[in-house]
Structure 1
Amino acid sequence: MVKKKAESRSTSDQRQYRYYDLIMAAFVCVLLCSNLIGVSKVVTIAGFTFGGGNLFFPLSYLFGDILTEVYGYARGRRVVWAGFGALIFASLMSWIVVTLPAAEGYTGQAALEQIFASTPRIVAASIFAYFIGELTNSYILAKMKLFTEGRFLWMRTIGSTLGGEAIDSLVFYPLAFYGSWSNDLLLKVMLANYVIKVGWEILATPLTYRIVNFLKKKENEDYFDRDTNFTPFSVKV
């Protein structure tokens, strides 16, 4: 009897999904682009000041919500770790390429440095904030799914984003820019970016419903994290 139960659980753990890898790839793509393109650029449109890269960063939270809602916290956590590794590699690659001696006659070094030469402080803040924020988002959504017994998806996606993005913003901006930006600008950008991120999640709710319902039907999966180990320091599923 014990052997049969162990075999059944092993089969479940090794189950293959049709769309999981594609969503993971989309998540990592959005994460890398939003952290490499415009992360330190401050934009003002119609009197509203915000970080340029944050127009697209909230998409990573949307994918994170979808992953946790359909496949569970453990598989969502695995994707967060994949993004963590991708960010570290991209940062290391950027640093190496920028610092390599330019060939004689090459005129693009200044532009390359301006675009990709983020300070170690900004890189570390970005990676740290991402890791904590995404895991907080996934944890809140998984726990709320148990509490609501799978109802009120909109409440879970928005509620988890409120928590995850708050942690991300409170960690990233002070670590990255305190002392180099004025306190007024820091608070203004941090608040504006938080509003943008949460606003994105609210506006994307109909799309989230469609994607989640599609995946649950196609994957025949609607995971509840009743026996999940919620430690962030694991990639086991």
Structure 2
Amino acid sequence: MEKHEFDAAPQPISFRYYDLVMAAFVTILLLSNLIGASKPSYVILPGIGAWSFGAGVLFFPISYIIGDILTEVYGYARARRVIWTGFAALLFMAFMAWAVVQLPPADGWPGQESYEFVFGNSWRIVFASMVAFWAGEFANSFVLAKMKIWTKGKHLWMRTIGSTIVGQGLDSFIFYPLAFWGLAGWPIELLWQVVLSQWLIKTAWEALLTPLTYLVVGKLKRVEGVEIFDTQTDFSPFASSQEVKKGAAS
């Protein structure tokens, strides 16, 4: 297959599935934060006993896998746009939840207390979720993009797992201490059990789903007809450019 080097063109590059991948990323992000973030659960491990973990860990890692696919296929600059879109969606979700909880319930409606328990996240949880997501996702995308350059596009499994170790580690070590440190029902032993569990389970998810990641990445690259290396990309999270400055299109 013939390869072509290219620089950023004046007209934006059109991708067939970029918007769909972005929608999937934001959907998983919102649902995993809304439904599972604040509930600790447990499993019984032989020789250890009950081991606690955050329920959101079952689904939230999918957003990191999609983030890996975004960076690998579409490049860091376009992944950055998706991360900021997810950040804005989280912010709006938090505002909407606060506004709806504050509205006075209609007379006779019995669900206000339960509604507040489920959706009335404290400012700490909202702040922790936003900071952890922002730091973890940008670290994940940055590491993957840099490793792609260092490995010359080889060893995708090494890049996805390596970036997940960094990104998910930051996410777990930021979110739970910021959100729950010192709160009733979250003794320090439980807190660090959950942090460690989150990190290990998220990384294990990435490793287990590596064959699926290979399948999706390969399919998207063939369909989109592009192989992007971020050799001239501005890696600042606050840069506004979406364009690929240099890469290879197949």
- TM-score, normalised to structure 1's length? 0.94
The alpha-carbon deviation at position 48 of structure 1 amounts to 2.7
The alpha-carbon deviation at position 10 of structure 1 amounts to 1.1
Which of 81, 85, 92 in structure 2 is aligned with 1:82? 85
Question: Contact 1:77 / 1:235 at 8 angstroms: preserved in 2?
Answer: no
CA offset digits 1:96-127 (Å, max 9, x no partner): 00011111111111121111111110010001
The alpha-carbon deviation at position 232 of structure 1 amounts to 0.4
Are residues 1:55 and 2:58 paired? yes
| Aligned equivalent of 2:226 | 221
| Aligned equivalent of 1:236 | 241
| Aligned equivalent of 2:96 | 93
The alpha-carbon deviation at position 30 of structure 1 amounts to 0.3
Identity %: 53
- Which stretches in structure 2 are left out of the alignment for 5+ residues? 1-6, 45-49, 243-250
Q: How many residues align?
A: 229
Are residues 1:165 and 2:168 paired? yes
What SS does the corresponding residue of 2:228 show, helix, strand or coil?
coil
| Structure with more strand by fraction | 2
Question: Contact 1:135 / 1:164 at 8 angstroms: preserved in 2?
Answer: yes
Are residues 1:34 and 2:32 paired? yes
What SS does the corresponding residue of 2:33 show, helix, strand or coil?
helix
CA offset digits 1:81-105 (Å, max 9, x no partner): 0000000000000000001111111
Report 1:147-226 matches (<5 A). Answer: 147-180=150-183, 181-226=186-231
The residue identity in structure 2 corresponding to 1:22 is: L
112-121 vs 144-153, which moves further: 112-121
- Which stretches in structure 1 are left out of the alignment for 5+ residues? 1-6
Give the Cα separation in 2 of the matches to 1:218 and 1:78.
21
Give the Cα separation in 2 of the matches to 1:201 and 1:120.
30
The residue identity in structure 2 corresponding to 1:137 is: N
Are residues 1:10 and 2:10 paired? yes
What SS does the corresponding residue of 2:141 show, helix, strand or coil?
helix
Regions of 4+ moved over 6 Å: none
- The CA RMSD over aligned residues, in Å, is 1.1
Which of 117, 120, 126 in structure 1 is aligned with 2:120? 117
* Change in CA separation of 1:122 and 1:8 when aligned onto 2, cut-off 3 Å: closer
The alpha-carbon deviation at position 156 of structure 1 amounts to 0.2
Give the Cα separation in 1 of the matches to 2:67 and 2:8.
28
The residue identity in structure 1 corresponding to 2:132 is: A
Give the Cα separation in 2 of the matches to 1:173 and 1:110.
24
Give the Cα separation in 2 of the matches to 1:185 and 1:222.
44
The alpha-carbon deviation at position 197 of structure 1 amounts to 0.4
The residue identity in structure 1 corresponding to 2:81 is: R
The residue identity in structure 1 corresponding to 2:112 is: Q
Give the Cα separation in 2 of the matches to 1:228 and 1:8.
11
